[in-house]
Amino acid sequence: MDCSYFGSRLNLYVDGELGYLEVAELQGHLSFCPDCAAELARLSEVRGALAAWGEVELAPPPGFAERIAAAAAQEARPGQATVGRVVGGALEALDDALGRIPLPGGRTVPVKNVLGYGIAATAVIIQVERFLRRTRELKPL
């Protein structure tokens, strides 16, 4: 029998899947065939390395889980920007601190909303003022 026959059985031999007679036949060939013996040595080396690799515990570096958790906490959820979350948190804190203004009819409005309307109105007034000043400057004499 030639080397290709035994070469195809080397994997089975390494895995211990050959019968007694097949092992004896292969070992007989290996005793006088340096090529197949070398191939067996190479296969055994690879198997040994794979087995050793499987036994190595793949542990993350120290603090890895904590850093991932911190990064995930920093990461904005989809559709929610980080700035939006910060502003939302600040507005909630303002809501708690300022409370609500009672309106006629038993309804209430958050104080922060009233402040927000005031700030927005001020911004509009400032922009209108700037616009008017610019148009006056551009007017021909």
Residue 40 or 112 with smaller CB distance to Zn ion: 40
Q: Are 30 and 40 in contact (CB under 8 A)?
A: yes
> Does 36 help bind Zn ion (rule: CB under 5 A)?
yes
Residue 39 or 95 with smaller CB distance to Zn ion: 39
Residue 18 or 36 with smaller CB distance to Zn ion: 36
Instruction: Name which position in 33, 43, 94, 98 contacts Zn ion (CB under 5 A).
Output: 33
Minimum CB separation from Zn ion for residue 7, in Å?
7
Those residues whose C-beta lies under 8 Å from the C-beta of residue 10, and which sit 6 or more positions away, are 26, 36, 39, 40, 43
> Does 40 help bind Zn ion (rule: CB under 5 A)?
no
Here the tokens at position 122 are 């001020």
> Does 37 help bind Zn ion (rule: CB under 5 A)?
no
Instruction: Name which position in 1, 3, 46, 65 contacts Zn ion (CB under 5 A).
Output: 3
Residue 28 or 89 with smaller CB distance to Zn ion: 28
Enumerate binding residues for Zn ion (CB under 5 A). Answer: 3, 33, 35-36
